[in-house]
Structure 1
Amino acid sequence: MISFWNKYRPVLVLFFFLCVSLFIFTRSLRDQLQSKQNYLKMAISSAGYPLQKAFSSAMQVIVSGWRKYLFLNNLEQENETLRRQLAQTQFQLYQLKETQSEQFRMSKLLQIQPELEFETIQATVIGRDSLNWFHTMTLDKGSANGVKKGAAVLNLDGVVGQIIMTGPYTSTLLPIIHAESGVSGIIKISRVQGTVIGTGDGRIFFKYVDRKAILSAGDLIVTSGLDRIFPKGLPIGRIINVQKIPNGLFLEVQIESAVNFSRLEETLIMISPLSDEKTEFSNNGDMK
């Protein structure tokens, strides 16, 4: 072994140094390559940084905008749902108030029904003629309910009009403000008689009153019962203006109806013939 070492020592030493040199060279070359790769990566990264930053910022803006859109869209849907719920609640509240108001008005009619000397049936206005000059109304009761043509119609305030046409379940009302309407009336205090006639434009007059009669604004005119349609003593209206026509035989007396026809909703229709008994009302129009 010693002889082998002594014999080949120079060769072995040279081979060792060659291996070490080769290792060092290989390591150095690898480090250089890695350094170049790192440099290349850094160069590429540096060159692409503005683009990456712009892309990242754009993506952030897009994502943020999309999230805001989804949030606002959901918020709008929730608001729309809440608006519909609020509208429905308000409508239900309106219906409830309207029902309560109608029930109150109907209860008032029920209170006076037993005091009347004739049989009546409650009826509600369900339609009005679209032509203002005609002034007819449709009620929700007809011949099937005992309503007959010519029946008198009234409400809490006084005389409303007369039934001129009936169907099985509806009837047509001719109000006293109609130009073809006529009601026999009498002044409550002075007992001056006349006929209440409408003009078709909402006004009514107390006709055929002697020019010598003494009348005053505010006098209450009630039904006289002479027409055999309306019971005696029902309020028709109050005098608002009295004029003497030159060379005329009669006074021109304008009255204001006791009934507000623009707000008329509930009525009472007479369904029994008049008897000899009369229904009297006090000066202010209340039943006594």
Structure 2
Amino acid sequence: MSPIEHDKPAGLSTGAVARLLGVAPTTVRSWDQRYGLGPASHTSGRHRRWTAVDIARLERMCSLTMTGVPPAEAARIARDGAPPPLEPAAAPKRPGSARGRSGIGLQLGDARRECKGLARAALRLDAPSLDGLLTAAIADHGLVTAWQEVIMPTLQAVGRKWESSGEKYVEVEHFLSWHVSSALRRSTPPVPAGQSADVTLLACVPGENHTLPLEALTAALAQHGLPVRMFGAAMPTQALLEAVRRTGPAAVGLWAQSRTTASRPLAQHVASMQWGVRGARRHPLVLTLGPGWAGQTVPGLPRPPGLAEALAVLRTAATDDTRRPVTQ
């Protein structure tokens, strides 16, 4: 495991150490109680502070358990400085990677430190740690920054590993995606009762099942107090058109991950839909979202490249009616 920089000689709290290692705080406490891997010294009171030497032992514990060494044996090696069990020589680990039990690596480059913790927790299929790290990232950085700089880089690294390994490690991708979805829902405030004006409608185009980016946008809109209706994966065309008619949205976001699912005629048809009384007809602003629209730009329809840009466009659409009325 790559070395970690430590900020102060006084040491770090148990929670901070857990985030750095990508494990749950209860795991760190358990290793202390069961195997004697606690900090060498204590501060006044009951607070426990971990020094660089203490954390180095925990790093070795993590590294050994992720390669299949039983926890008790890994703790003895980490505590006593014993050599690890003999095993075939492995290729040197490249910087920025996170290894799992099978020795697989996720290349994360210069991503934030939190990405490496997420990757390690995902590779271990460690649900408590993953939930804690995701919740902490959103709380510490805000949803938009956490999505763009922590969650997305980790998801992309997992996706690259899946694609390059003959579809091995599918369980890691599904596991991480499910926990990301759960964290986004936890961060989404409830929609106030009776709120329906200037709603944004979000849906994946027919045949498209990648919903996580829309879930992130749903949570971001809700956090800004903007009403949103999320319809999820593979929305059938007729159902999508009916939802637009019934809600009269200020904006519609259509997500396409693949060029094979992006449909210019569908986006143009939704953008042309009108409702309201004669002389004050209205139509929605349609956003083409996702990489599937690359090379299929629809004239007059915005294609924001990321979550922050999509949020900015939709916040403007929800408060500016000057674009939507259609005079007749």
Q: Same fold (TM over 0.5)?
A: no
Structure with higher Rg: it is 1
TM superposition score normalised by structure 2: 0.22
Q: Greater share of strand residues, 1 or 2?
A: 1
TM superposition score normalised by structure 1: 0.24
Pick 1 or 2: higher relative contact order, CA cutoff 8 A, min separation 6.
Answer: 1
Q: Greater share of helix residues, 1 or 2?
A: 2
